[in-house]
């Protein structure tokens, strides 16, 4: 695309040239000619420091060198070296995660505990994600909710530091209104144990038992792992991205690259079964406009741009997201009592997550953080 056309489009999208270039260079399926053409258009006024800063902050840096020899010709040496160093760092981290995952899976299988590997690690062992490109922060595993206590004991016996979720109220605990109530750490690596894919109050109808019964075995590096069925894994990715964009909770923009290998229309039937048809439709519209570089025409697109720029929310945006968090998809049981408990959680919850002090002081601290997001 000629530089003049690029500049006109930039003005229309209100996006700095550095960020526009970052998005174009990090498309997973970019061809060699397009990649070099974009790099050739970069002028001396280009702010490489800002470019690199946002690339790393958004987890897009790993995608910047699909053709390393071409990249070496056009990136300033210091920028090129930073990108290569970043890739080596995330590659090493992913290798360590998979090594630990192997140990955890062997532990679960030795006790015949049903499980399925989720998210980034599942993508790595499937070969969908490149170790040098797609940053994976931790290990996520889905288990049978009835096996929670047994899993905690097993992990602690293996040297994991395990912490269980503190619920906002007994009501929240009775409804198991949390998707990953167990977090564990070992050797500086994090493990999240899920009992469902999403919080109960998000309104989806997804049976954990059915997912585990239909899990798929896959061999990787002389080990065998269980993962979600392909359609379930794809829809989970879609809904996970939707959750971050719709409710405004922070997400690394590199995460939306997970949508590239997914064909959305075939997921309609499963989305209807999961009570997620509207969410799939919203992502479908967002993704089609995003691929056309029409970044501002959808609410989800505007949220993604905010994450890309690292911009704080305006007060109006905070009110919109707060309303969505409180009143969207709460369905049959997200009643007045639940909203009351959510607004005024028990003191043990506040003490655990917001520090010591009188209830009112800690509550005010939580409200400040809530509006800050």
- 89: domain CATH number is 3.30.460.40
Residue 358 lies in a domain: no
369 in any annotated domain: no
**pLDDT cut 90: percent of the chain above it:** 72
Structural domain count of the chain: 1
**Domain range for residue 131?**
3-334
Residues 6 or more apart in contact with residue 30 via CB below 8 angstroms: 24, 66
pLDDT reported for residue 315: 77
Q: Say whether pTM exceeds 0.75.
A: yes
CA 232 to chain centre: 16
List the strands of the sheet with 139-143, edge to edge.
161-164, 182-186, 189-194, 139-143, 115-118, 223-227, 216-220
**DSSP-assigned states of every residue in 224-242:** EEEE--HHHHHHHHHHHHH
Tens of pLDDT, residue by residue over 146-181, are 999 999 999 999 999 999 888 888 877 776 667 888
pLDDT digits (tens, 9 = 90+) for 205-230: 999 999 999 999 999 998 999 999 99
Residue 16: helix, strand or coil by DSSP? coil
Asked if residue 343 is part of any domain, the answer here is no
Instruction: Judge contact between 125 and 233, C-beta under 8 A.
Output: no
Considering only CA atoms, which of 51, 30, 290 is closest in space to residue 1? 30
Does a structural domain hold residue 155?
yes
Q: CA angle, 130 as apex, 126 and 136 as ends, to 5°?
A: 85
User: Does 240 reside within a domain?
Assistant: yes
Note whether residue 368 is domain-resident.
Answer: no
Q: Which long-range contacts (CB under 8 A, 24 or more apart) does 15-18 make?
A: 15/295, 15/305, 16/47, 16/50, 16/309, 17/46, 18/46, 18/47, 18/50, 18/51, 18/54
Q: How distant, in Å, are the alpha carbons of 134, 137, 159, 163, 230 from that of 91?
A: 9, 11, 25, 27, 24
Which of 152-161, 307-316, 353-362 holds the top average pLDDT?
A: 152-161
Q: Is residue 146 part of a domain?
A: yes
Say if 290 falls within a structural domain. yes
């Amino acid at each position: 695309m000629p530089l003049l056309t690029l500049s006109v489009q930039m003005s229309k999208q209100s996006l700095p040239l550095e960020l526009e270039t970052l998005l174009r260079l990090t498309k997973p399926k970019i061809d060699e000619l397009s990649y070099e053409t974009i790099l050739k258009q970069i002028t001396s006024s280009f702010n490489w420091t800002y470019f690199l800063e946002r690339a790393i902050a958004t987890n897009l840096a790993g995608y910047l060198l699909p053709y390393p020899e071409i990249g070496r010709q056009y990136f300033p040496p210091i920028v090129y070296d930073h990108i290569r160093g970043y890739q080596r760092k995330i590659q090493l981290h992913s290798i360590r995660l998979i090594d630990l995952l192997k140990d955890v899976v062997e532990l679960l299988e030795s006790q015949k505990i049903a499980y399925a590997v989720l998210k980034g690690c599942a993508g790595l062992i499937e070969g969908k994600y490149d170790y040098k490109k797609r940053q994976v922060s931790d290990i996520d595993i889905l288990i049978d909710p009835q096996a929670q206590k047994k899993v905690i004991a097993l992990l602690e016996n293996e040297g994991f530091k395990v912490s269980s979720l503190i619920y906002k109220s007994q009501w929240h605990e009775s409804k198991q209104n949390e998707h990953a109530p167990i977090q564990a750490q070992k050797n500086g690596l994090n493990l999240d144990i899920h009992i469902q894919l999403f919080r109960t109050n998000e309104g989806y109808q997804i049976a954990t038992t059915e997912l585990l019964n239909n899990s798929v075995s896959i061999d990787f590096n002389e080990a065998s792992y269980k993962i979600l069925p392909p359609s379930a894994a794809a829809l989970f990715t879609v809904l996970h991205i939707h959750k971050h964009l719709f409710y405004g909770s922070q997400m690394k923009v590199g995460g939306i690259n997970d949508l590239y290998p997914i064909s959305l229309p075939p997921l309609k039937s499963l989305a209807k079964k999961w009570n997620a048809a509207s969410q799939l439709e919203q992502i479908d519209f967002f993704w089609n406009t995003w691929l056309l570089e029409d970044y501002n025409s959808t609410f989800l697109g505007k949220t993604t741009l905010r994450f890309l720029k690292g911009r704080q929310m305006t007060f109006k945006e905070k009110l919109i997201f707060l309303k969505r968090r409180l009143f969207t998809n709460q369905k049959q049981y997200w009643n007045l009592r639940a909203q009351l408990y959510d607004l005024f959680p028990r003191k043990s919850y506040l003490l655990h997550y917001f520090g010591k002090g009188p209830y009112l002081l800690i509550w005010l601290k939580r409200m400040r953080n809530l509006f800050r997001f």
